[in-house]
Amino acid sequence: MKNLKMSIAAMLLLAVSFTNAQEKEKMNMDHGKMNMDGMKMNMDKMQNAKAEAILTDYFSLKDALVGDDTKKAAQSGTKLVASLKSFDKSSYTKEQQKDLADIIEDATEHAEHIAKSPIDHQREHFKTLSKDITDMVAITGTKSTLYEQFCPMYDKGSAWLSTSNDVRNPYLGKKMPSCGKVQREINN
């Protein structure tokens, strides 16, 4: 009888130990999952910061063109090249990575031309660059509300992005600063 009581006590002790071990492992796994989720959130924030840096440089370039400032546009183009080259596509799907690689390659080429061209040529490249940045935002999203604006008078119609719904035309600059209209609002 004493052996039976000892065996039951040992089995109860073993069961309690096993349950505690399972709970501990579950807690560790949950903690690990939280750490992985935290890492993913940090990676997403870093990615968003890189995409937002590209937008900041793009808007600086747009503002320079609005003000007919060739030198500032060239400097902004150089900064934009660096931002585009530092963009990491790895957190996106394979298809998005391919699309982003194409967009960034094209946008980089146009930003490089802007960095070393007279203002008329800067504006020509800004037109395609604006399409590239709009395509990028469609994939990466943005924390800001953006406005796609359109000027019917420049090169058979040209679009650009802005952080304001007030039209400030980068293609016609000081000659016609308010020529154009808001085509759509981008919230994503």
Complete domains list, the chain, with CATH: 2-141 (1.20.120)
Supply the pLDDT for residue 2.
57
Supply the pLDDT for residue 49.
83
Structure tokens at 8: 């039951």
Supply the pLDDT for residue 39.
39
Residue with tokens 């963009």: 87
Supply the pLDDT for residue 101.
97
Look at residues 139, 135, 142 and name the one whose alpha carbon lies nearest to residue 110. 135
Structure tokens at 116: 């070393």
| CA gap 125, 21 in Å, rounded | 64
Supply the pLDDT for residue 147.
98
| CA gap 35, 30 in Å, rounded | 9
- Residue ranges of the chain whose pLDDT lies below 70: 1-47
**Which pLDDT tens digit goes with each residue over 71-94?**
999 999 999 999 999 999 999 999
Indicate yes or no: pTM above 0.85. no
Supply the pLDDT for residue 50.
87
Look at residues 25, 54, 20 and name the one whose alpha carbon lies nearest to residue 139. 54
| CA gap 166, 181 in Å, rounded | 8
The phi, psi pair for 91, rounded to 5°, reads -85, 5
Residues 6+ apart with CB under 8 A from 135: 99, 103
